Structure 1
Amino acid sequence: LGENFINFQRFFKFTTVYAGFAFITSLIREAVKDLEDMEGDRQYNCRTMPIVWGVPASKVYVGVWLIVCMAALIILQLYTWQSGMREMLLFIALFLLLPLVFILKGLFKAEKAAAYHKLSTLIKLVMLTGILSMLFFLLYR
């Protein structure tokens, strides 16, 4: 029972981290897509966040979730540091945290649909990288 329970705990932590990452990055991407499609949504009387709350408030919403995601990744880095998985530290920093910082910076500069589209594409790449990190994690643990 003891070893199976420990394996379950590891599996639960592992899936919770990835589910949380997927949830947060999906929230971020959907809100950015709403910013991108705002003019079309306005023409069809859609009540999306940027239309109801306004663009500045929508950007703050996305920014807060980006910061939450980055904070969670930094906490994950502390765990990987304690576990001796130095390769994961570099992977998370270069392929997840750095792009998220770039997205956060670009978010508050973005004004046109094309800029939001670039951010949305970058977020998709971060999501894919997060999924692929499972393989990296399994290979280097």
Structure 2
Amino acid sequence: MGPHLFSPPPPPKGQGLGKGRGAVPISVAWPRGGVLLSSFSHVSVFQVILERYPKEKVLPALDRTKFLVPQELTMGQFVTIIRNRMALSSTQSFYLLVDGSRSLVSMSLTMAEVYTLNQDEDGFLYMTYASQEMFG
């Protein structure tokens, strides 16, 4: 995947971050403390909070919970990236639940579609990951 998955993309060539160039400095307050200050020259990424299911015992914790995800990325691609970050073997399974609907979503949906359907009031898309033991 590209270098922009977990950081905002650089401005297009010929566009700086100065006044009148399309970039608007914003301050994003992350839930549970912390503030991200950044400048986005275009809105092509979404803010995703990915948390471990509280009773999860099998899957490892991720090194971060806050991600900037490109809107054209599919859920299947996002799942692959998260699997690689957790270093899961091919026999280990995990599920991504979208907190807006508390359900699984189709792996063919783009992140833009998932975000539009399930975004929270604060502008974040909340997801929870868990293993199958969570279901009983």
- Asked if these proteins are the same fold (TM beyond 0.5), I'd say no
Q: TM-score, normalised by structure 1?
A: 0.28
Bigger RCO (CA 8 Å, 6+ sep): 1
Q: Whose helix fraction is larger, Structure 1's or Structure 2's? A: 1
Q: Whose strand fraction is larger, Structure 1's or Structure 2's? A: 2
Q: TM-score, normalised by structure 2?
A: 0.29
Q: Which has the larger radius of gyration?
A: 1
